[in-house]
């Protein structure tokens, strides 16, 4: 029988996860299919129990369900997803267990380009869901994470929650950005600034960047955001956002199946779907 995987969310029709996972499933010759399911916040509990009862191979969660999953008494989150406060991957093999692979996705995308970030100074723009996953993950591998968020208080709260599990994390306001960037090794944009349709926006401009810096933007629509174009012009190395999406999916796939899927095939499927 064909095994079923999927992504639950609302809205979910524009998710790139089905094309990406189905490309991996085809490449591996598996008898399986990955679908998108529209599931509301109120319906998440029933949907997960139903998926478990029907023998689904696993599901991803997207907006607005990642945080909601932690409110369900029957779901067992691992330590990382509990710390982040969001679950993006659910596995049904041994109970109903929650994981968060967004941070691993970002870490692999970045380390592909620049090697280990242990001991590196990483300026992280943002303190929302994506930034939380990145802050916890990067701190867990020994990076020095410097959070800069428009709402300073939100950045401080994130720094405190990562510090409480032993990470080297501090929070700052936008006024400190220039100084922080001068001595940084990596800049990560984990805000939505620069995303289609407001493609002309950027928090950091080229004059604040230096050639030794690696600049990673998690926005993948467009692939080359204004931040990355300015970084390139300033001589910095750039990392585009699609590989975070690919690697978070690949890690979810590995949790469900024990098999590391072909990331090059998944990347091609994502780029084709984006028309790149
Ligand atoms: P996500 O889950 O995608 O990370 P989110 O939780 O809404 O989304 O977080 C969005 C992040 O982008 C936040 O860090 C937000 O800053 P605030 O905490 O100050 O709201 C940041 N952000 C969004 N629009 C921004 C803008 N125009 N300028 C600066 N930061 C912005």
Most informative mutation of 191, 204, 205 for ligand 1 (most atoms within 8 A of CB): 191
Q: Tens of pLDDT along 94-141?
A: 999 999 999 999 999 999 999 999 999 999 999 999 999 999 999 999
Tell whether 234 and 249 lie within a shared domain: no
CB 98 within 8 A of CB 75: yes
Phi, psi of 9 (to 5 degrees): 180, 175
Give the pLDDT score at 224.
97
Distance 128 CA to ligand 1 centre (A): 6
Give the pLDDT score at 233.
98
Distance 151 CA to ligand 1 centre (A): 9
Tell whether 87 and 187 lie within a shared domain: no
**What is the dihedral angle through the alpha carbons of 241, 243, 245, 249, rounded to the nearest 10 degrees?**
-170
Q: Which atom of ligand 1 is nearest the CA belonging to 151?
A: 19
Provide the angle, in degrees to the nearest 10, between the axes of the packed helices 129-140 and 102-114. Answer: 60
Angle at 99 (CA atoms; ends 44, 136), nearest 5 degrees: 120
Tell whether 96 and 175 lie within a shared domain: no
Q: pLDDT truncated to tens, each residue of the chain (276 aa)?
A: 999 999 999 999 999 999 999 999 999 999 999 999 999 999 999 999 999 999 999 999 999 999 999 999 999 999 999 999 999 999 999 999 999 999 999 999 999 999 999 999 999 999 999 999 999 999 999 999 999 999 999 999 999 999 998 889 999 999 999 999 999 999 999 999 999 999 999 999 999 999 999 999 999 999 999 999 999 999 999 999 999 999 999 999 999 999 999 999 999 999 999 999
Ligand 1 atom 6: the closest Cα is on which residue?
Answer: 128
Q: Are strands 186-189 and 214-217 parallel, antiparallel or unpaired?
A: parallel
CB 144 within 8 A of CB 119: yes
Domain that residue 144 falls in: 106-240
66 catalytic? Reply is yes
Ligand 1 atom 18: the closest Cα is on which residue?
Answer: 151
Tell whether 236 and 247 lie within a shared domain: no
Ligand 1 atom 14: the closest Cα is on which residue?
Answer: 126
Tell whether 14 and 96 lie within a shared domain: yes
Give the pLDDT score at 274.
96
User: How many CA atoms lie within 13 Å of 137's alpha carbon, on the beta-carbon side?
Assistant: 25
Which domain CATH number covers 177?
Answer: 3.40.50.720
Which domain CATH number covers 7?
Answer: 3.40.50.10860
Give the pLDDT score at 196.
95
**Coil, strand or helix: which one is 262?**
coil
Ligand 1 atom 26: the closest Cα is on which residue?
Answer: 193
Tell whether 268 and 230 lie within a shared domain: no
CB 257 within 8 A of CB 115: no
Please give the tally of structural domains in the chain.
2
Tell whether 152 and 250 lie within a shared domain: no
Q: What percent of the chain is modeled with pLDDT above 90?
A: 98
Give the pLDDT score at 85.
96
Tell whether 115 and 17 lie within a shared domain: no
How far apart, in whole angstroms, are the C-alpha atoms of residue 135 and residue 169? Answer: 8
Tell whether 124 and 55 lie within a shared domain: no
Which residue among 31, 66, 120, 224 is the active-site one? 66
CA 112 to chain centre: 15
CB 72 within 8 A of CB 45: yes
Tell whether 118 and 235 lie within a shared domain: yes
Tell whether 20 and 142 lie within a shared domain: no
Distance 258 CA to ligand 1 centre (A): 34
The pTM (predicted TM-score) of the whole model is 0.96
CB atoms within 10 A of CB 178: 11
**In the beta sheet, which residues pair with residue 148?**
125, 172
Give the pLDDT score at 207.
97
Ligand 1: residues whose CB is within 6 Å?
A: 126-131, 149-151, 154, 191-193, 203
Distance 171 CA to ligand 1 centre (A): 15
Tell whether 87 and 211 lie within a shared domain: no
DSSP letters of 163-228? HTTT--EEEE-GGGHHHHHHT-SEEEE-SSTT-TT-TT--SS-GGG--TT-EEEE---SSSS-HHH
Ligand 1 atom 12: the closest Cα is on which residue?
Answer: 191
DSSP letters of 65-111? STTGGGG-TT-EE-HHHHHHT---EEE-TTSSEEE--HHHHHHHHHH
């Amino acid at each position: 029988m064909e095994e079923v995987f999927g992504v639950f969310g609302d809205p979910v029709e524009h998710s790139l996860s089905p094309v990406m996972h189905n490309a991996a499933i085809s490449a591996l010759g598996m008898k399986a299919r990955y679908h998108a399911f529209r599931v509301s916040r109120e319906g998440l509990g029933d949907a997960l129990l139903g998926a478990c009862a029907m023998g689904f191979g696993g599901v991803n969660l997207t907006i607005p369900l990642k945080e909601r999953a932690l409110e369900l008494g029957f779901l067992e989150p691992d330590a990382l997803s509990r710390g982040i406060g969001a679950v993006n991957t659910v596995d049904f093999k041994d109970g109903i267990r929650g994981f968060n692979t967004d941070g691993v996705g970002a870490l692999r995308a970045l380390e592909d380009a620049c090697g280990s970030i242990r001991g590196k100074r990483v300026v992280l723009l943002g303190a929302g869901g994506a930034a939380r996953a990145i802050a916890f993950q990067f701190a867990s591998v020994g990076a020095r994470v410097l959070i800069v968020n428009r709402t300073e208080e939100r950045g401080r709260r994130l720094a405190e929650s990562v510090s409480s599990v032993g990470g080297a994390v501090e929070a700052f306001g936008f006024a400190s950005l220039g100084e922080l960037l001068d001595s940084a090794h990596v800049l990560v944009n984990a805000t939505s600034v620069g995303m289609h349709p407001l493609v002309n926006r950027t928090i950091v401009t080229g004059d604040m960047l230096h050639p030794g810096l690696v600049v990673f933007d998690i926005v993948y629509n467009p692939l080359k955001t204004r931040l990355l174009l300015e970084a390139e012009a300033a001589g910095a190395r750039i990392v585009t956002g699609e590989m975070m999406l690919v690697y978070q999916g690949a890690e979810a796939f590995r949790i469900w199946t024990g098999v590391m899927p072909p990331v090059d095939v998944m990347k091609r499927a994502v780029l084709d779907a984006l028309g790149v």
